[in-house]
Amino acid sequence: MATLLKHSAKYALSGRLARLGVHSRHGGLQCLQPRLLPHQRSASTSSKILVEMDDSTGIAVLTMKNPPVNSLSLDFLTEFSISLEKLELDRGCRGVILTSALPKIFSAGLDIMEMYGKSPEHCGEFWKAVQEMWLRLYGSSMITIAAINGSSPAGGCLMALACDYRIMAENPKYSIGLNETQLGIVAPFWFKDTLVNTVGNRAAELSLQLGLLYSAPDALRTGLVDLLVPEDKVLSTASQTMTQWLAIPGENAIGSNPRVSSS
Ligand SMILES: CC/C=C\C/C=C\C/C=C\C=C\CC(=O)SCCNC(=O)CCNC(=O)[C@H](O)C(C)(C)COP(=O)(O)OP(=O)(O)OC[C@H]1O[C@@H](n2cnc3c(N)ncnc32)[C@H](O)[C@@H]1OP(=O)(O)O
């Protein structure tokens, strides 16, 4: 792992971006058009991420659209981090809702094909991109809400855990969890820490050691998600919740985040 991380340090995000040429406004799938309302300011889309920014509320919706299962490939992670960085730099943006354009899937986690038969250099670059995604999301100074409209195993669960609040569709077929143990791998320590910070020590121990995938109701009971709502209400509820959080006086909901504030 140390070798992988050392390798990865050689690769800057900006370099990957330049190679990818992200933010083509016309990229993406035809069925995934921006859902702009008249008062909204802008939508930008790269091939795997759609960002819709509502200038009147300061809320952005970041929609993952990487079929078939929103796996976290290097290209996807690069586009994701760039999109988040742009929002972070936009002083008008105060909150980000993370959701999926795909039916039944939030994210399947790390793209398995990125870890199979690849060079150490590629693995290093990939692993750095995974860490960068987590750092950007977990350390964001914006309010972040995961609108989980499908299953979300492993790295997909990590993404949701890195947000401030999680709203999941109450569909009993959907599952979420850090199930790495069941896949024959040990979850990295920062996956573990993120889970412990959310559900507490004992629940995290059981969850990680057994590699549990929770149904939506069990995820709520464990504290892995904060709220279950009908599937067609996930995004609207996320929007309402965001509005409530952003109304906390003095932006204290942002300033009180222990992850980004030392005071
Ligand atoms: C280089 C790294 C260096 C160091 C690493 C060190 C440590 C890492 C340690 C742990 C990190 C782990 C984090 C992870 O996230 S690992 C990935 C774990 N994810 C999974 O195992 C998800 C597996 N997928 C599923 O459970 C299901 O596919 C589903 C529930 C998401 C969706 O089920 P469906 O029935 O709707 O769809 P499927 O028919 O199963 O799949 C459709 C299609 O998608 C492909 N696919 C699914 N998951 C992945 C994936 N994670 N990566 C790439 N591709 C995926 C699947 O193969 C199908 O493809 P085909 O249609 O057959 O082509």
pLDDT tens per residue, range 197-243: 999 999 999 999 999 999 999 999 999 999 999 999 999 999 999 99
pLDDT, one tens digit per residue, over 162-202 is 999 999 999 999 999 999 999 999 999 999 999 999 999 99
Residue 42 CA to ligand 1 center (angstroms) comes to 32
Q: Whose CA is nearest to atom 7 of ligand 1?
A: 188
Strand partners, 156: none
pLDDT of res. 8: 33
Q: Whose CA is nearest to atom 1 of ligand 1?
A: 123
Label residue 219 exposed, middle or buried (CB < 10 Å: 0-12, 13-18, 19+).
Answer: buried
What interface predicted TM-score (ipTM) does this complex get?
0.96
Mutate to test the pocket of ligand 1, among 3, 5, 69 (most ligand atoms within 8 A of CB): 69
Residue 195 CA to ligand 1 center (angstroms) comes to 20
User: Can you list the positions of beta strands (E) in the chain?
Assistant: 42-45, 49-54, 59-64, 95-100, 104-105, 143-148, 150-153, 165-169, 175-177, 214-215, 227-229
**The model's pTM:** 0.86
* Ligand 1 pocket at CB < 6 A: 4, 68-69, 71, 104-105, 108-113, 115, 123, 126-127, 151, 153-155, 180, 183, 185, 187-188
pLDDT of res. 3: 30
| Active site residue ranges | 110, 155, 179-180
Residue 24 CA to ligand 1 center (angstroms) comes to 27
pLDDT of res. 46: 80
Residue 231 CA to ligand 1 center (angstroms) comes to 23
pLDDT value at 67 more than 60: yes
